[in-house]
Amino acid sequence: MLDFTSDTAGDTPSSRAADAARQDNLASDRALLDAYSNAVIDVTERVGPAVVRVETGPKVRNARERGGLGSGIVISPDGLVLTNSHVVGSSKEIRLRDTEGFDTDAHVLGVDPDTDLALLRADGARDLAYASLGNSKTLRRGQLVVAIGNPLGFESTVTAGVVSALGRSIRSVSGRTIEDVIQTDAALNPGNSGGPLVSSKGEVIGINTAIINGAQGICFAVASNTAQFVLSEIIRHGYVRRAYIGVAGQTAPVPRRHAVLAGVENKMGALLMQIEPDSPAARAALLPGDVAIRLDGIEINGVDDLIRALDHSRIDRTLSMDVLRLGRLRAIDIHPIERKPAKQ
């Protein structure tokens, strides 16, 4: 009688090769997971101590009566801290707590609601751990990133993900568009705001700023290069300088007939709705109903384009603005002035 139950019946060269291949794949997967884990651990140990809790409002004993709560990142040995402007708001009382439980008061050096960034300085004499800002222009989609912060008040929380997209635009609390924003799937929650988004090199490449409610895995961070510009302006001037002309408007389509008659290719422009009295726009004789289509050689396809064009490089310069007025193209000289800084 033949015995078909032998343990060696399936032990063939091909099955042994398949088992060996599976073991190799498992070993490779384990190595990849270990490398991923080690990268996150390394970043957390290097940058985590520089992350602080940012608490605003008067001191209270009852935690339920606490004011605003967010995160921040110390970026210099003398206690400069980057966070979000919506975290500090207009608060005059700000306290920081590091990962070792050290508390210190802080004061606002400057805020920039247009990029949702604020710069603080810790008042305590103790040396704080700090992190370095990296170059966000070197980021690539799919790159590993780590977010560290205090979501919902849970201190020193770490989440990891990837760079989902680069060059995004989101609307700030002030209504202006924040450009060059990083999209990530690293989980963020209220309280993460102002905390760092960190590369695998341990460099801060973004300041976490926003989540989309109801959407899983869609979170945003202001790029570190934007943060570097903002903090430099605040250190130099106390605020970020931008040009001002004194108009309110909205993005609107350019009627095809008007575009053809004027010889322009714009399909959209910035429709001027209001002109502030005694403003550069009023002095230039701009009128409600004008449609701006070009400023200083830059094509204007909407209000956001006009806002972007009015940066600090155009303060106190006479510029040419092309507008459509009643179907006719007009070139108007306008002299932007420096915009008043945001009130703190």
Other residues' Cβ atoms within 10 Å of the Cβ of residue 25: 10
| Distance in angstroms (rounded) separating the CA atoms of residues 10 and 25 | 21
Asked if residues 193 and 73 have their Cβ atoms less than 8 Å apart, the reply is no
| Distance in angstroms (rounded) separating the CA atoms of residues 227 and 63 | 31
Percent helix, strand, coil in the chain, to 5, is 25, 35, 40
The residues that are catalytic are 86, 116, 193
Which candidate, 318, 325, 309, places its Cα nearest to that of 284? 318
Using alpha carbons, list the distances in angstroms from residue 88 to 74, 121, 191: 15, 13, 12
Spatial CB neighbours of 44, under 8 Å, sequence gap ≥ 6: 146, 148, 158
Over its C-alpha atoms, the chain yields an Rg (Å, rounded) of 27
* The one-letter amino acid at 12: T
Using alpha carbons, list the distances in angstroms from residue 210 to 78, 183, 279, 313, 339: 28, 10, 34, 29, 26
